[in-house]
């Protein structure tokens, strides 16, 4: 009897973990009706399926290089429900990332998605940090054709180590994975986090905090 109880408890916990992620669709598709005024609940309202067209399920231009002339030297081209309305409720999205030499995708998280990255061109240094208290850095240098996984919610980054441009493509397990860039969230929110809090948290002088906040 005790073994059966343990087994049932394990099954219940497993089921609860499964349903914690995006629910399975209850119809063939649910094209996002972005013009609707209906309240959103975990996705956009559905367009009448009779109005479905091929354009609702396609996106052109992922082959086009992104403009990396910015301070980070990186351009991300997302392909999510905003670009493909037919992705609504399907729980998946893509992104192309272009890197200038030395370009960096800064430490960030995706609160609603695991990311699997494939290197299309170049040599890219990638890594993620495990949660407290270990805070272990797991990193690797990837080359063309290599694949790396960033688990859901963990802080991760990418950097182009080559002398030329680099390209990667990511698949994410959410139609709307979200992005939380650590530096922007800490030093650039509106209104600002108190410099007393940040100085104490980072164990530095307030002048350093002010200098960092000014960048965002």
41 and 147 share one domain: yes
Residue 21: inside a domain: no
CA 51-55-59 angle, 5° bins: 150
State the DSSP code for 119: E
Pair type for strands 115-121 and 147-150 = antiparallel
43 and 111 share one domain: yes
Domain that holds residue 33: 27-178
* Per-residue tens of pLDDT for the chain, all 216 residues: 544 443 444 334 334 434 445 666 667 888 888 777 666 666 788 899 999 999 999 999 899 999 999 999 999 999 999 899 999 989 999 999 999 999 999 999 999 999 999 999 999 999 999 999 999 999 999 999 999 999 999 999 999 999 999 999 999 999 889 999 999 999 999 999 999 999 999 999 999 999 999 998
Contact in structure between 124 and 90 (CB atoms under 8 Å) = no
Residue 17: inside a domain: no
Spatial distance between the Cα atoms of 63 and 67, rounded to a whole number of angstroms: 13
42 and 117 share one domain: yes
Spatial distance between the Cα atoms of 187 and 198, rounded to a whole number of angstroms: 9
CATH number at residue 155: 2.60.120.10
137 and 204 share one domain: no
40 and 61 share one domain: yes
102 and 41 share one domain: yes
Spatial distance between the Cα atoms of 197 and 93, rounded to a whole number of angstroms: 36
134 and 165 share one domain: yes
Partnered with residue 52 across adjacent β-strands are none
List of residues 6+ apart from 92 with CB closer than 8 A = 171, 172, 173, 174, 175
Helix, strand, or coil (residue 150) = strand
Domain count along the chain: 2
104 and 199 share one domain: no
């Amino acid at each position: 009897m005790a073994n059966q109880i343990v087994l049932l408890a394990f099954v219940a916990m497993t089921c609860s973990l499964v349903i914690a992620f995006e629910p399975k669709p209850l119809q063939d598709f649910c094209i996002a009706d972005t013009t609707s005024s209906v309240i959103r609940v975990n996705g956009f309202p559905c367009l009448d399926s009779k109005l479905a067209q091929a354009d609702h399920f396609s996106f052109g231009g992922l082959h086009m290089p992104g403009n990396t002339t910015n301070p980070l030297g990186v351009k991300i081209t997302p392909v999510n429900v905003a670009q493909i309305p037919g992705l609504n409720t399907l729980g998946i999205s893509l992104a192309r990332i272009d890197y200038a030499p030395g370009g960096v995708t800064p430490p960030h998280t995706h609160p609603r998605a695991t990311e699997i990255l494939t290197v299309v061109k170049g040599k890219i240094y990638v890594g993620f940090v495990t949660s407290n208290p270990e805070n272990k850095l797991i990193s690797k240098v990837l080359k063309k054709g290599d694949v790396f996984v960033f688990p859901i919610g963990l802080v991760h980054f990418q950097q182009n180590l080559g002398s030329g441009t680099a390209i990667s493509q990511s698949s994410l397990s959410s139609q709307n994975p979200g992005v939380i860039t650590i530096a922007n969230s800490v030093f650039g929110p509106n209104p600002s986090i108190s410099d007393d809090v940040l100085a104490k948290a980072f164990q530095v002088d307030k002048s350093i905090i002010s200098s960092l906040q000014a960048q965002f």
